[in-house]
Amino acid sequence: PLFHFGLLCVIGGHVVGVLIPKTWTAAIGINDHMYHEGALYMGAVAGIIFIVGFLLLMKRRFTVPAMKVNTSGLDKWLYLFLTLAIFSGMAGTLLNASGFFDYRVSIGPWFRSLISFMPDPSLMEGVPFMFKFHMLAWMVVAIIFPFSRLVHCLSVPLNYLARPFIVYRKRDRV
C-alpha cells in the first residue's frame, strides 16, 4: 500500500510538472516561485514515501524465500532501472533546489511532443545530465515493466467484492 500511494503521488507530481504547460499554471495564478517551492517540498515528501515503499517491496521480494525464487532475471533488471530512475529523479530535484534549471520549458514540451507522436529532440539540448539520465532510466523501466511481475501493481481485483464466499470442507472418505 505504501508503494502504491507513493507511486500515485509521484505520478501526480509528474503530471503537474511535465504534462501541464507552464502557461496554464501561470494562468491560474501560480508564479514560478510558488510552483518551484511546491514542487520541491511536495516532491520530496512523495519521493520519500515512494522510496520507503520501494525499499519495503525490495526487502520482501528478496528475503521471502517463495518470492525470491519466483523473481526472474527480467524482474531484477526492472528493479535495477527503477532504482536508477528513483534516485536520479531525487538527485535531479535536489540538484535543482536553487531553481537554476526550468524543466517546464524543455523537458515538459519534449515529453508532450513524444506522447503526441511528434518528437522534437532539439528540446533536450542544454538539459543537465542528471535529468537526461532520469529520462533514460524511466524509458527503460517503461519498456521492461509490462513483461515483469511488477505489472501486477496496476491490477485492481474488483471481482473479489462481488464473488461468493469460498467454502472449505473435508471430503467424505469412501
Q: Please tell me the number of Cα atoms within 13 Å of 86 on its side-chain side.
A: 19
Q: Taking each helix axis from N to C terminus, what angle separates 32-63 and 2-14, rounded to the nearest 10 degrees?
A: 150
In the prediction, which pLDDT does 122 show?
94
- Residues near 70 by beta carbon (within 8 Å), at least 6 away in sequence: 149
Distance CA(46)–CA(86), nearest Å, equals: 11
Domain residue ranges in the chain? 2-162
Distance CA(119)–CA(138), nearest Å, equals: 17
> 2-162: which CATH number, 1.10.3720.10, 3.30.1360.30, 3.40.50.720, 1.20.950.20?
1.20.950.20
81, 144 Cβ separation under 8 angstroms: yes
Per-residue confidence at 81, pLDDT binned at 50, 70, 90?
very high
30: pLDDT strictly greater than 80: yes
Per-residue confidence at 174, pLDDT binned at 50, 70, 90?
low
77: pLDDT strictly greater than 90: yes
**Sign (positive or negative) of CA dihedral 20, 150, 2, 50:** negative
25, 39 Cβ separation under 8 angstroms: no
Q: Tens of pLDDT along 83-138?
A: 999 899 888 888 877 778 888 889 999 999 999 999 999 999 999 999 999 999 99
Higher pLDDT, 149 or 121: 121
Q: What is the pTM of this model?
A: 0.77
